[in-house]
């Protein structure tokens, strides 16, 4: 396949997945960067995607602006800031493949565990884990997000067991990730990633980015709230397996 066609095929697929994730189908967005990397250098791909993610965050935050948990945001954002900083400092020494492999294994195991616990519609009491645990998961989310735009699984591992209402879960995810993605901007700017070429590539993907996010918002509101968590856990398992297989085959 012509390299330019391959790039656009991968870029459009990546942007659609990230848009669906920002619209509410959390988790699938972690596949965006691996798919993008099939068509372009991973460093350039990450730089092209970051402004797209920020734009999609804005659409998602606006759509769910009345439904988000301020306590979760206050707990996780400081950890996310630390994780982003650690990811920036140690980016050159960290293997992205290894990080995504470990993340994939943990995501799959977590999703399977939650599906087992909640099988058959069993009632599960919301988690009440202490805030310092949330800070640690926030650090893991910030670190994996800085390394590979894959911060969703650690965030979900602390937040999903709290059993927030569907729209509040999506809104909380939107607000926290919108804030975290802005935290990543100085690091990308310092590394010289916002070049004219990269920004032009970003601009060509904007219509797809907005349409995919709005589609995600519409679709997620049509999913039965009682089955929403099951769907997210299934997506986590599939995502985890995909990331793990990619790491083993790398």
Per-residue pLDDT of 101-137, as tens digits, reads: 888 888 888 889 888 887 766 656 577 788 999 999 9
Distance CA 101, CA 34 (A): 12
**Taking a C-beta distance cutoff of 8 angstroms, is the pair 36, 245 a contact?**
no
Q: What's the pLDDT tens digit per position in 35-72?
A: 888 888 888 888 999 999 999 999 999 999 999 999 99
- 120: which DSSP letter? G
Phi and psi, residue 223, nearest 5°:
-80, 130
Q: Is 115 left (phi over 0), alpha (psi -120 to 50) or beta?
A: alpha
Q: Is 235 exposed, middle or buried (0-12, 13-18, 19+ CB in 10 A)?
A: buried
Q: What's the pLDDT tens digit per position in 11-37?
A: 999 999 999 989 988 777 878 888 888
Distance CA 112, CA 89 (A): 33
Reference 149, options 24, 53, 44, 239; nearest CA is: 53
Q: What's the pLDDT tens digit per position in 169-203?
A: 999 999 999 999 999 999 889 888 899 999 999 99
**Taking a C-beta distance cutoff of 8 angstroms, is the pair 147, 91 a contact?**
yes
Alpha helices in the chain (DSSP H): 3-23, 32-36, 42-63, 70-89, 96-117, 131-148, 152-159, 166-190, 196-204, 206-220, 225-249
Residue 189: both structure tokens together: 């700017």
pTM of the entire structure?
0.85
């Amino acid at each position: 396949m012509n390299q330019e066609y391959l790039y656009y095929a991968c870029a459009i697929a990546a942007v659609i997945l990230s848009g669906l994730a920002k619209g509410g189908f959390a988790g699938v967005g972690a596949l965006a960067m691996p798919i993008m990397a099939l068509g372009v250098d991973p460093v350039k791909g990450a730089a092209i995607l970051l402004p797209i993610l920020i734009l999609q965050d804005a659409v998602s935050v606006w759509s769910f602006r009345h439904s988000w948990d301020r306590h979760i945001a206050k707990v996780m954002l400081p950890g996310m800031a630390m994780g982003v900083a650690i990811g920036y400092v140690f980016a050159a020494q960290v293997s992205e493949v290894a990080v995504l492999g470990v993340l994939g294994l943990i995501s799959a195991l977590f999703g399977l565990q939650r599906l087992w616990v909640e099988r058959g519609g069993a009632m599960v009491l919301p988690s009440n884990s202490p805030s310092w645990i949330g800070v640690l998961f926030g650090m893991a989310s910030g670190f994996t997000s800085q390394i590979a735009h894959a911060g969703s699984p650690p965030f979900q591992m602390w937040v999903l067991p709290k059993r927030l209402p569907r729209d509040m879960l999506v809104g909380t995810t939107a607000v926290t990730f919108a804030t975290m993605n802005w935290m990543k901007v100085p690091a990308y700017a310092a590394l010289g990633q916002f070049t004219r070429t990269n920004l032009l590539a970003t601009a060509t993907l904007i219509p797809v980015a907005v349409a995919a996010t709005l589609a995600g918002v519409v679709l997620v509101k049509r999913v039965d709230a009682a089955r929403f968590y099951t769907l997210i856990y299934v997506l986590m398992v599939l995502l985890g397996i995909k990331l793990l297989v990619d790491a083993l085959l790398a």
